[in-house]
Amino acid sequence: MSLKKAVFKVKGGGEYEVQFNPESLSLSKAADWAEKKGDHTLDLPLVEWKGGKAMKLEMTLFFDTYEDNADVRDKTQGIEELAMVKDETHGPPIIEFQWGKSWFHRGNAVLTWNLTSFSTTYKMFNSDGVPVRAEMKVTLTEYATEDQQKNRIRLQSPDHEKVHRVRPGDTLHSIALEAYDDPSKWRPIAEANNIEDPLGLTPGSVLRVPRIR
């Protein structure tokens, strides 16, 4: 069985295979909680949720062209360019990171990323001063459009309250089907939003979808 190589896949076409698979991957995410002004007699400050921060995926890649006496930059440059502006998109490309059958997911969705930083260190040179060995530290930052993030909210389980932005053609029955897998459970949504006409929804409005037990 051949060793599967990790690959950076560019959305819209193109991919860059690493020369050697990373020894480790580091996944991190921070949350934005801010202190509130409150009772100074309390032991701990009161805090409130300000929003989520993007996930980070970090790794170190190694490149070696010593035996071929070739310029190692021919192998590193393609990945470095994933952080550069592309003419057709006016920004760096959106990428996926795949290692064999392994992807990073959030729910059922494959995560997409921006390559937000790299640091390449050349470790060895041939007699002509050409680099033949390099180490590259790479940081990928999670990317998702507004619609993709709203879809994630809609895919949360029915035992958690969520929100739904009304689309053309939506009814309380269709929203209940999407949220609870049961169109007959539209009444909790109507009651939570003081809706009298289940068919008269305004596209673009945001509804509370309460949890059900």
Report yes or no on whether pTM surpasses 0.85.
no
Q: SS3 of 156, please?
A: coil
Give the whole-number percent of the chain exceeding pLDDT 70.
Answer: 90
Cβ-based burial of 136 (10 A; exposed 0-12, middle 13-18, buried ≥19): buried
Kindly report, residue by residue over 18-38, the tens digit of the pLDDT. 999 999 999 999 888 888 776
* Ranges of CATH 3.10.350.10 domains, the chain: 148-209
Architecture of the 148-209 domain? Roll (3.10)
| Mean pLDDT to the nearest integer, 56-74 | 96
Task: Give the N- to C-terminal CA distance of the chain in Å, as an integer.
Answer: 48
Query: Tokens in use for 47?
Result: 């805090």
Across the chain, mean pLDDT equals: 86
The model's confidence at residue 89, banded by pLDDT at 50, 70 and 90, is low
Interatomic CA distance for residues 103 and 109, integer angstroms = 10
Kindly report, residue by residue over 97-112, the tens digit of the pLDDT. 998 877 777 655 788 9
Cβ–Cβ < 8 Å for 193, 179: no
> What local confidence, expressed as pLDDT, does residue 114 receive?
95
Architecture of the 6-144 domain? Beta Barrel (2.40)
Compute φ and ψ for 4, nearest 5 degrees: -75, 135
Q: Which of 191, 200, 164, 168 is nearest to 180 (CA)?
A: 164
How many residues belong to the chain? 213
* Ranges of CATH 2.40.30 domains, the chain: 6-144
Cβ–Cβ < 8 Å for 119, 136: yes
Question: Which residue is it, tokens 């190692």?
Answer: 72
Residue 57 has pLDDT above 90, yes or no: yes
> What local confidence, expressed as pLDDT, does residue 155 receive?
52
Interatomic CA distance for residues 120 and 138, integer angstroms = 9
In DSSP notation, 46-102 reads EEEEEEE---EEEEEEEEE-TTTT--THHHHHHHHGGGSPBTTTTBPPPEEEEETTE
> What local confidence, expressed as pLDDT, does residue 139 receive?
97
